[in-house]
Amino acid sequence: METVNMMRVNAHSGSYAGHGGASHDKQQQHRQKMLALFEAINSGNLDAARHAFQALVNFDAATLANAQFVRLSKFLQAGSIYLAQQLVKEIKSKRSGSTNLNR
């Protein structure tokens, strides 16, 4: 009896079936957490912004390797929602070419 090994490629994620879904889900969750952070900051809700930032860092600690997010953290800790809002505008404008975070 001969065994045939078959691989199915998932065209949407660019990876093998069964392995691409988790990566896509994690990217989607990261994007949702970032959007929640930006929305909280833009609405002026400092407490919600602090919680959303902590949720993002808990989800992906590498967030703190990004200098802009370190600055954002400092602005939120200092209670400077205005500076945080200005930085979010800057982050969105830099990322708008690769990922649309604007609503």
Which residue, chain included where needed, has tokens 């989800």? Answer: 59
Cα distance between residue 42 and residue 99, in whole Å: 18
Q: How high is the pLDDT of residue 14? A: 45
pTM score over 0.85:
no
Show Cβ contacts of residue 65 under 8 Å, excluding neighbours closer than 6 positions.
none
Show Cβ contacts of residue 50 under 8 Å, excluding neighbours closer than 6 positions.
76, 77
Percent share of the chain, pLDDT over 90:
67
58-101 confidence digits (pLDDT tens): 999 999 999 999 999 999 999 999 999 999 999 999 887 655 45
Contact 63, 57 (CB under 8 A): yes
Q: Which residues pair with 10 in a beta bridge?
A: 15
